[in-house]
Amino acid sequence: MKQLIAVLAFLPLLSCSSVGTKAGLETLLFNPVVTAQGLEVSVLSNGCTQPEQFYLKLKQDLIELRRTEPDLCRAAPHLVRLAFNYSFAPGVYRFKNDTRFSDRVVR
């Protein structure tokens, strides 16, 4: 009986590991904004996502954000707003894998 309980307790962890976002993957950027202070962006999180878990790469006019650590598992993915304190030169930037959306609600 104890073995059955241990297996049943372990099953949610197995299913959970496939939900998380792996390290090294390019991250979708939701509503990215470049300011004089740096980059502000929303990212999809399956756990407790922190800015330290990302690698920000600036290549001429292309901004790329990659994960340095895997995201923890969570039952419901949600958007997290992050700010990266990097100084950008004035200009026009392109975002790799960006997704723009509106937060307006249609009734």
In SS3 terms, 69-95 reads as CCCCCCCCCEEEEEEECCCCCCCCCEE
Q: Phi and psi dihedrals of 26, rounded to 5? A: -70, 140
d(Cα 91, Cα 23) in Å, to the nearest integer? 30
Give 4-23 pLDDT, tens digit per residue. Answer: 344 334 434 444 444 456 67
Pairwise pLDDT comparison (20 vs 24), residue with the higher score: 24
d(Cα 58, Cα 68) in Å, to the nearest integer? 16
Contacts of 33 (CB under 8 A, 6+ apart): 39, 40, 41
Q: What is the mean pLDDT of residues 41-55?
A: 86
Q: Does 69 score more than 60 pLDDT?
A: yes
Phi-psi label, residue 75: left if phi above 0, alpha if psi -120 to 50, beta otherwise: alpha
